[in-house]
Amino acid sequence: MLAYILRRLLLIIPTMLGILLINFIIIQAAPGGPVEQMIAKLEGFDAASGGATGRISGGGGEVSVAGSNYRGAQGLDPELIEEIERMYGFDKPAPERFWIMLKNYLHLDFGVSFFRDAKVTDLIVEKMPVSISLGLWSTLIMYLVSIPLGIAKATRHGSTFDVWTSSAIIVGYAIPAFLFAILLIVLFAGGSYLDWFPLKGLTSNNFDELSLGGKILDYFWHLVLPVTALVIGNFATLTLLTKNSFLDEINKQYVITARAKGLTERRVLYGHVFRNAMLLIIAGFPAAFIGIFFTGSLLIEVIFSLDGLGLMSFEAAINRDYPVVFGTLFIFTLVGLLVKLIGDITYTLVDPRIDFENREG
C-alpha cells in the first residue's frame, strides 16, 4: 500500500504539469487578455476626455499615462503598449512565462491579482471559509440523507414507500439547486411570505460582538438556506446510486447463502451487503465533494451573496485575471487529486480484500 501511495503521489506531478500546460495554451489563444483590456480602456478614456495624465497599476506594477500617448486612429504610443505588456509580464515569450510560473508555484507563490491589487494566496485564504462551509456541510448532510434513504428504498423495493420517495427524488433531480434557492428565498427569506433567515453573507454584521454560542448559532443560521438548496439539488443521484448498488448486491448468490444459514436480515444487510455495496458510493465521494466545494456552489454564492472561491474564480475567468485563474486551478486540481487518492485508500478500509499492489492479477 505504501508503494502504491508513493506512486500515486509521484503521478500527481506530471498530471499537474499537463493540466497547467493545456490551460496555459488555451488561455494564450483566447482573445481579450489583460493587455488588450487595458489598451481598450485607455483608448476609450483618452478619446472621450482628450487625454489623461496619471498612473495605472496592475499585476504588481504600474506605468505612467500622459495625454500624448493617444494618437487618434493610430492608437496608443507603442512605448506605452510595451510598458503595459511589461507590467503584466507579457514582454516575455510564452514558454518563459510558463517556466517562471512553475518555479513560483514550487514556492506556493501564485503572484498578484491583475485587478484586485492583492496576492492570490491572500484572496484564496479570504474566500476559503465560504467554500469550505458550503462544500463540507452540504456533502456531509447529503451523504447522511442519501445513504439511509437509498438503503431503505433497496430493502423496500417496489413498495409504496419506494414509489413516493422516487417521486421526490425525480423532483430533486429535475430542478437545479439554484431554482430551489430562489424558492427558499421567496418562502423563508422575506421574499413574499416568511422572513426567518438572512439573505446575505455568512455571518451577521454584529458577529464579533456575539458570544461563542451566539457565533455558532449565527453561522449555521446563515447556512440553512444555501446548504438546503445544495442538498436538495444534489441528493437524488447519490440516493439512486446507493439503492441500485444495494439491489445489485442483495440479489447475489452469497446473500442467498447467508439467508439460508439462518442469519437475520439485518445481519445479512450490514454484515455482508453493506461492505460490498458501499464501494461505488465511496468511489463517488471525491467527485461529489469537489463538485459542490468548487463549482456546484457558484450560483448559490451569487444568489445568497456569498463571496467564495467559486464566485472569485468565475469573475477571474471573465476578467482574464490570469494569476487568480491559474492559482485557483492549481489549488483545485491538487486538492481534487489528493481527495481522489484518499477515496482509493478508503476502499481498503471498507473492504480489506482489495489490494492495489496486486490489482493486475
Contact by Cβ (8 Å): 124, 309? yes
Please report the sign of the dihedral spanned by the C-alpha atoms of residue 319, residue 322, residue 324, residue 328: positive
Q: In the predicted model, what is the mean pLDDT of residues 310-331?
A: 83
Q: In the predicted model, what is the mean pLDDT of residues 197-215?
A: 83
Is residue 298 domain-shared with residue 204, that is, in the same domain?
yes
- Decide: residue 320, CB within 10 A, 0-12 exposed, 13-18 middle, 19+ buried: buried
Please report the sign of the dihedral spanned by the C-alpha atoms of residue 51, residue 56, residue 59, residue 61: positive
Of 45, 61, 95, which residue constitutes the final position of a domain? Answer: 95
10 occurs within a structural domain? no
Is residue 87 domain-shared with residue 137, that is, in the same domain?
no
Q: Do the strands 61-65 and 54-58 form a parallel or antiparallel pair, or are they unpaired? A: antiparallel
181 occurs within a structural domain? yes
CATH number at residue 354: 1.10.3720.10
- Check whether 199 has a pLDDT greater than 70: yes
Is residue 145 domain-shared with residue 89, that is, in the same domain?
no
Is the model more confident about 295 or about 152?
A: 152
- Check whether 48 has a pLDDT greater than 60: no
pLDDT at 266: 82
User: In the block, which residue shows the cell 486538492?
Assistant: 335
- Check whether 347 has a pLDDT greater than 80: no
279 occurs within a structural domain? yes
16 occurs within a structural domain? no
Is residue 75 domain-shared with residue 124, that is, in the same domain?
no
Q: In the predicted model, what is the mean pLDDT of residues 133-152?
A: 87
- Check whether 51 has a pLDDT greater than 80: no
pTM over 0.75? The answer is no
Is residue 179 domain-shared with residue 306, that is, in the same domain?
yes
Is the model more confident about 11 or about 2?
A: 11
Range of the domain at 200: 120-358
203 occurs within a structural domain? yes
Cell of 295: 463549482
pLDDT at 73: 45
Is residue 340 domain-shared with residue 287, that is, in the same domain?
yes
Mean pLDDT, the chain, whole residue set:
78
Is residue 304 domain-shared with residue 339, that is, in the same domain?
yes
Q: How far apart are CA 243 and CA 114, in angstroms?
A: 48
pLDDT at 69: 52
Cell of 168: 421526490
- Decide: residue 169, CB within 10 A, 0-12 exposed, 13-18 middle, 19+ buried: buried
- HSE toward the beta carbon, residue 77, CA cutoff 13 A: 13
Is residue 91 domain-shared with residue 130, that is, in the same domain?
no
pLDDT digits (tens, 9 = 90+) for 241-279: 888 888 888 888 888 888 888 888 788 888 778 877 777
- Cα distances (angstroms) measured from residue 209 to each of 213, 214, 217: 12, 9, 13
229 occurs within a structural domain? yes
21 occurs within a structural domain? no
Is residue 78 domain-shared with residue 215, that is, in the same domain?
no
Q: How far apart are CA 92 and CA 96, in angstroms?
A: 6
pLDDT at 296: 56
Is residue 66 domain-shared with residue 135, that is, in the same domain?
no
Is residue 276 domain-shared with residue 129, that is, in the same domain?
yes
- Check whether 318 has a pLDDT greater than 70: yes
302 occurs within a structural domain? yes
pLDDT digits (tens, 9 = 90+) for 163-193: 898 888 888 888 888 888 888 888 888 767 7
Q: Look at the chain and report how many structural domains it folds into.
A: 2
Q: How far apart are CA 177 and CA 218, in angstroms?
A: 23
Is residue 52 domain-shared with residue 170, that is, in the same domain?
no
